Structure 1
Amino acid sequence: MSDVKRAQKAGETRRRILAAALELFVQDGHGATNLHDVADKAGAAVPRTRTLSLTAGDHARQATPWPKAMSWADDIIGRRRCAPHGQAIDYVDGLTMRSRLMHSATYLHDLLVSTIFTEGLDADMDLWTLGFNATWVQGANIETVASHFSLDLSTRTPCHLSDILDHNIDDGSQWVAEVGSWIGVVPGGSDNDQFILSLTADDRQALSFSMDISGNAWFKYARDGRMVVAFDPMSPDDRVGDDPHALDHMMEGLRFELSGPEVHENYVDTDESISSALALIGRVTETDIAADWFEALHSRARPTSS
């Protein structure tokens, strides 16, 4: 078979698989859709392995069981791949399909996990065990932010968020991203209230999101030297701050509160609560938390010499 015909056949297979997946998602829901259903509907062979090998550029992600992967909208768009007959088939039209496929309630949590954790990392490791902290600041220039985080901007190098864990372990580098009027930093320094408040002098704004090994998670929003609102994404009713309900209008449609064991439908779990907190950050910053931050190329910088 010629290269042209092979490419045409691959393209036709891509279109059939994508159309089949979309139809089954709408018809049965992502949770009830599996690999065999999609393959049968598309008239494609089932992969030899029951895992998806997630890739982003040249950086391999962890292999993920298909039932879980099918709940990730991003797994069938853009840079994700599956391998019928051992051949890689790139799913196309990622930006177009993203809005149609982001039905998973845990999408942003799952995307963050697949971005942070690369192949070869301890399989028992997760965001809670590792600990995760990110901070976003508006109203400050990059030099001011670098000063607060003790970063040496002369060491600034292009970097995806997917690469920062290794660099942070090696030399203490932190990921520094600029989108619109906001600057994001990962790891985001201390989530201590005083540190966050120090970022917000002169009417600046700051957002902080953190998770730790003890199972604690916090969303914090500060402005002009005061903590406006802070809460645990799993217990949003316990909001504290100078104006605990300041972001209520932005929280509409997001689900945080964990469901009790008596709830059997529309269950809200921890991953969905984390996804909701990340979605809220996107709403406050007026950015696409996935495309603008997690997946985009930004930079890293090493700490200043002591």
Structure 2
Amino acid sequence: MFKRTKRKNYRYIGLLYILPWLIGLMIFQLYPFFMSFYYSFTNFNMVAPPSFIGLDNYKEIFTNDPGFTQALKVTSLYVILAVPVKLAFALFIALILSAKLKGINLFRTVYYLPSILGGSVAIAVLWRFLFMRDGVVNNMLGNLGIPSIDWLGNPDVALYTLGLLSVWQFGSSMVLFLAGIQQIPGDLYEAGSIDGASKTRMFFKITVPMLTPIVLFNLIMQMVNAFQEFTGAFVITNGGPMKSTYLYALKLYEEAFTFFKMGYASALSWILFVIIMVVTGIIFKTSNRWVYYEDGGKS
């Protein structure tokens, strides 16, 4: 009887330890999550009480809001451009940092730093100064005899400049790729060498297939982050020029905090949520064709 009581006390102590996290989850995540769904069916401006209007917000978005179409188009292009390049670059750096060299841990730390700093407003401001018309990048190009490029003022180039900022924040993906590379059995490479396979062939036949589970995870995480990208577009270009960098999160922010259409912004956020869920579901559905595991099975 005494032991059972003691076990129950341990359970209560465990609940007590996670109580702050549970309170934070309910107040700052679950409550806003469900309330935003309710607000998406209302006309709410944060001053007057919300009034229920049914599906009017969604009808307005899909039938009479060209900004929604533009934001969705630009964001989709941004995701398609930034995510694959970011993952490829992260894998490339991970391969370099997997070498057994003296002081390699220092280089791994240095290469991870951009992911810690990259999402900050300060880095976005620095990026704007680097790529402005008379910025550091154009000065370097001028020293090489290359004409300067209007990185942030040309609608055909501005989105690529924002994509470079995203690619620069490759550290988290790189760390996962590096961990995966270090877990690949060495005897696979030894067998490939005995068979006369080149390093390039072993990369595509051994390294890449063994890393596909990590590729799947990184792809989903970076895709979700890219769909929600906001800081760069807001600080560097503010959606310009000619709305060529008008990302979805910027559209959502304007509706909520410039026009104070909280119900409308909530509807936009739920549409984005559904889009992300659909894309994630498609990736998972197709992953059984290209994700492999060490035992030879597929996902």
- Does the TM-score normalized on the shorter chain lie above 0.5? no
Q: Which has the higher contact order (CA 8 A, sep 6+)?
A: 2
TM-score (norm 1): 0.23
TM-score (norm 2): 0.23
Task: Name the structure with the higher strand share.
Answer: 1
Task: Name the structure with the higher helix share.
Answer: 2
Which is greater in Rg? 2
